[in-house]
Amino acid sequence: MAQVKTSSVIGMDRQEIADLVIEADEPGYRVKQIMDAVYRQRVESLEEISTLPQAFREKLARNGVGVGAAQIDNKFVSSDGTVRYLIGFADRQSVETVWMPEGDGGEAGDGSEAGDAAEHLVDDPHPRSTGGAKAFSENGGSIAARKRCATQNQNHTLPNPSYSSRGPRGRSTICISSQVGCAVDCHFCLTALLGVKRNLTAGEIVGQVCAVLKDQQVSPPEDRINLVFMGMGEPFLNYENFIKAARLLVECVGTAERRMTVSTAGIVPRIHDFGEETIRPKLAISLNASNDALRSQLMPLNKKWNLEMLIAAARNFPLRTREYVTFEYVLLGGVNDQPENAKQVAELLRGVRCKVNLIALNPGPGIDFKTPGDHQVAEFQKILRAGGIPAFVRRPRGRDIYAACGQLKRTVDLATFPEVQLQAISPVPER
């Protein structure tokens, strides 16, 4: 797959920036000046780095080196505060990046600090309530604790606070893309309809985050921002660039490693590689079916790496203290959402240190499935929990602007769903 060649500073690590400084015969402290300006101050041009001598900036420019900041072509704002960004690149390709104030509950139950906060909102919205999810967390996810979780927790509805453009500190989430389009042909996902155009460079991945942070006027680690590699593309099919981007986000941008999650459709060999990384986000796996026949129908990738291989990789994944593998399960009305499916999932995951995120299908044009009703979702969750599997319902964010899970398709002509209204939409400029 063709890669975009770049001489952008965004995407360079400390050593690569040091090489630029050495080549220009500049003192070593220039490295920190450049890194701070690009990754922390998020400048968009060399001219903005006022700490560098003019002659040095001019020399970098002559050598074809630029900042390489991502460009926001447009943004769409949902009635719930979610923002979908259209990020453009020099080759006229583009991806989507999503800002979610308050997140979507996706981290709940994964054992991390971010997960604890999300879990509290999902399962215990009232501060005086205790038990259930708390028991699961404090008891390390034991079967007994999971069963207590099933009996003590009910399917609470999340509160619906008033959202500001910035959102409360500590619970906002940025959903990042790793490819232009996607090569994994999941039949319930709008992104799959695009196919795959190319991989993103590490700089283009990090650039998305920097652009959104700047636009939202937030900055980690001062602001506790969660990052999820769950946008357009399959990160494990762009593995080297994804891993480099993750390292840069931790070492240069200031993102806490425990606040990052990557989702894969099940590229089994890369799951094994991922477990060997010294810096790695938490692992989420798209499951979406309870048996091989159904999963192969919905996700053709399963024909190469079936459920036995996938679950074995998850079972053997080297988890850190209080860490859990997340399985994501998109519920398709009348297809994979029946009680029997839930029982099969509970049996499939028995003994795996994991939890399940349930996602009611987010609709879109060209998707031939329907969204299940709330009762069906609640019943599926109840069966999983009764089987000892911690299960959480991810709430849809930005569904009215095609920003929710499975809806990213660089959509410009937006259709409003009956139950929601569109807000603050402006035309996308030609590139």
Query: Catalytic residue numbers?
Result: 96, 405
Are 323 and 369 spatial neighbours (Cβ–Cβ below 8 Å)? no
Q: Give the position of tokens 């960004």.
A: 85
- Amino acid of residue 241: N
Q: What is the DSSP string of 117-175?
A: HHHHHHH--STT--STHHHHHHTTT-HHHHHHHHHH---PPPP-PPPPSS--TT--EEE
Distances (CA, A) of 402 to 226, 255, 270, 364, 372: 21, 27, 29, 8, 18
Q: What is the DSSP string of 32-94?
A: HHHHIIIIIS--SSGGG-TTS-HHHHHHHHHTT-B----EEEEEEEETTS-EEEEEE-TTS-E
Both tokens of 23, joined, read: 């080549």
- Please give the Cα distance from 180 to 193 (Å, whole number): 12
216: left (phi over 0), alpha (psi -120 to 50) or beta: alpha
Distances (CA, A) of 76 to 72, 165, 229, 331, 402: 11, 12, 20, 26, 9
- Please give the Cα distance from 87 to 212 (Å, whole number): 10
- Please give the Cα distance from 66 to 215 (Å, whole number): 20
Q: Partners of 74 in the beta sheet?
A: 86
- Please give the Cα distance from 179 to 238 (Å, whole number): 7
Q: Give the position of tokens 């939202």.
A: 216
- Please give the Cα distance from 42 to 108 (Å, whole number): 30
DSSP class of residue 10? Answer: T
